Structure 1
């Protein structure tokens, strides 16, 4: 079965969100939604999420899942906003607990912040299955970028989050807490073991040098042959050396501080104070 995939690109964060529809019914899943956030003013906006919601409503779709490939460090999730308006269960990898424990300490969240993943409706693990209408979905645990990264294989399509980018751009960074270039290489081999014709949908695109248009769909076969970091049989040691040296030169994502605090809460803001005001913390020299 071929999934019916609609993509929504947010140029401000270079993020691609997806609506994945069962071609035989009105059932769908939403993958990696975006809540717009202006860091300078501290203001949120829902235009990106509203575009996804409008698509769902215009097509008469039933949202069964709102899936997160991982705790994103470069954009805020709109999962609860979308859930309130069109339903669906929010899912993420079970190693969200590891991420919550790590960043609960970084942001000095105290004992009120639950580190058991209970903010999410479903915690997936390797080998789990689920359905979107008549389509079967399978879960691959693909850590390395973060400990909780998942790849969702739905019908003929794999949603890989940040693990792989387009072949001309390569792979995810591994220098966040809990990241590992060795682990990422092993995770990528899981994805590349899928049938060559499997469609791959990436979580971001940055237009590699020489490419004029944004792109987000490729295949396992194309990644195996052409990915500039892992294609053509590049061995693990060569990859780890390249990835480690490259990561050492990368700046932190612009929205990492608000993103982590919100996304480890399944897209919810931190609890408001007694006056109803919400605040995000900035850990000085903490990242």
Structure 2
């Protein structure tokens, strides 16, 4: 399926919901203030089938200890609502939080899936972290690798997958009913857009991916992966719309050219520090949320390349 056809299918799917001929998802969001991450549980109101998107494994960088308080909230909600989890979806291999997907699979089930370009991320970061041949770079840590334009269902909900690279090579957006889960491509209008300076990132690709998303119907609800509470706002937010983004996004509203965006994004990215959890996050998330294999003493270790990133 071509990118244009994938976009056409996604737009038609949304219009069916808006016209009342298809169903809209139930969405419950769990926000983790420690990592500013919004995790979403999306369910079909008719079948109670569900997907978990961008879950969080709690991690203390000082001690290296993990815990499950954030993910336990999702488990409690799933059980309370009687949901059948079919998917654990990742919009990309996050650099700012660890995924709880494997633990959630043990608790509530669901196939773990990400975009097929995760292979590029595994290859690039496999070299950065000097991983040996025991680390598979074929995406086999995941149950399914999505391609652009792929379609599937969550219960009776229609889902279209869109490849939206730029922040990383593997970013995917999931259009579920009339809602789009866009990962780190874009933030609330008053904060702008994601950085594009990680290995494999590209500001020009990011602009084009965002513009592609913003050609969806104006009523489309956009659910974000992060909110960083910019100056002037005192409440975390994670839902906006195509119309709001096109009118008000400080980086990519209508009228901002690709060249102006690339110049702004590249200049801004040079001022940003690496995310606090990038070292553990990428090493775990490129493994599908699994920790590196224990060494001979039974302990897993995170590698930190010195003077490299």
| Counterpart among 219, 241, 244 of residue 219 in structure 1 | 241
1:1-287 equivalent positions in 2, closer than 5 A: 1-287=23-309
Q: Work out the number of aligned pairs and report it.
A: 287
* TM-score normalised to structure 2 length: 0.92
- Distance in 2 (CA, whole Å) between partners of 1:65 and 1:167 is 29
Residue deviations 1:213-236, cap 9 Å, x none?
Answer: 000000011111111100132110
* TM-score normalised to structure 1 length: 0.99
Question: 2:4: which partner in 1?
Answer: none
- Distance in 1 (CA, whole Å) between partners of 2:27 and 2:171 is 21
Moved over 2 A (4+): none
SS at match of 2:59: strand
SS at match of 2:123: helix
Q: RMSD over aligned Cα, in angstroms?
A: 0.6
Unaligned runs of 5+ in 2: 1-22
How far residue 2 of structure 1 moved from its aligned partner, in angstroms, is: 1.5
Unaligned runs of 5+ in 1: none
SS at match of 2:145: strand
How far residue 277 of structure 1 moved from its aligned partner, in angstroms, is: 1.1
- Distance in 2 (CA, whole Å) between partners of 1:285 and 1:102 is 17
How far residue 130 of structure 1 moved from its aligned partner, in angstroms, is: 1.2
- Distance in 2 (CA, whole Å) between partners of 1:210 and 1:51 is 29
SS at match of 2:85: strand
- Distance in 1 (CA, whole Å) between partners of 2:241 and 2:44 is 20
SS at match of 1:161: coil
- Distance in 2 (CA, whole Å) between partners of 1:114 and 1:106 is 15
SS at match of 1:178: coil
- Distance in 2 (CA, whole Å) between partners of 1:150 and 1:99 is 13
- Distance in 1 (CA, whole Å) between partners of 2:50 and 2:116 is 22
Residue deviations 1:191-210, cap 9 Å, x none?
Answer: 00111001000000011211
Residue deviations 1:54-97, cap 9 Å, x none?
Answer: 10011110001100000000000000000011000001000000
- Distance in 2 (CA, whole Å) between partners of 1:5 and 1:74 is 23
How far residue 275 of structure 1 moved from its aligned partner, in angstroms, is: 2.6
